[in-house]
Amino acid sequence: MKKFMTEFKEFIAKGNVMTMAVGIIIGGAFTAIINSVVADIISPIIGLILGGVDFTTVSFGIGDAQIMIGNLINAIITFILTAVVLFFIIKAFNKWDEKKKQEEPAPEEEPEVPEDIQLLSEIRDLLKK
């Protein structure tokens, strides 16, 4: 049991696990933001454009069964709107990130050492031995 606890502590303490945990938490918070943008901003605008169409009551019958597809249609519309909003957010972030990378100075590369200097350095190192 002691070996298990030691291995478990090592596993939890690794950077990848901690990074993943932070990513999941941030992802949950980001999901709330995206859902709010879709539900509170985008959906009402589309409702105004379409005249307040609500699909929740859409259904059809097969024999005695009533198939309620309205909620599915609403879920599909919400998914598409969420994907579009997320696309624009990621696109804006990538554009910002690319602009930031272009503004950063490129790391200086070490100048290439001429062949004769390399040879002399090797001879010096051999003479030291």
- Note the pLDDT of residue 20: 81
Any domain includes 71: yes
The model carries a pTM of 0.52
Please identify every stretch of the chain with a pLDDT value under 50, giving residue numbers as ranges.
none
Domain extent, residue 12, equals: 2-97
Any domain includes 90: yes
- Note the pLDDT of residue 91: 92
Any domain includes 64: yes
Any domain includes 114: no
Any domain includes 128: no
User: Is the alpha carbon torsion for 47, 49, 51, 53 positive or negative?
Assistant: negative
Any domain includes 113: no
How many alpha carbons fall within 13 Å on the CB side of residue 111? 4
Q: Length of the chain, please? A: 129
What's the total number of domains in the chain? 1
Any domain includes 83: yes
- Note the pLDDT of residue 95: 92
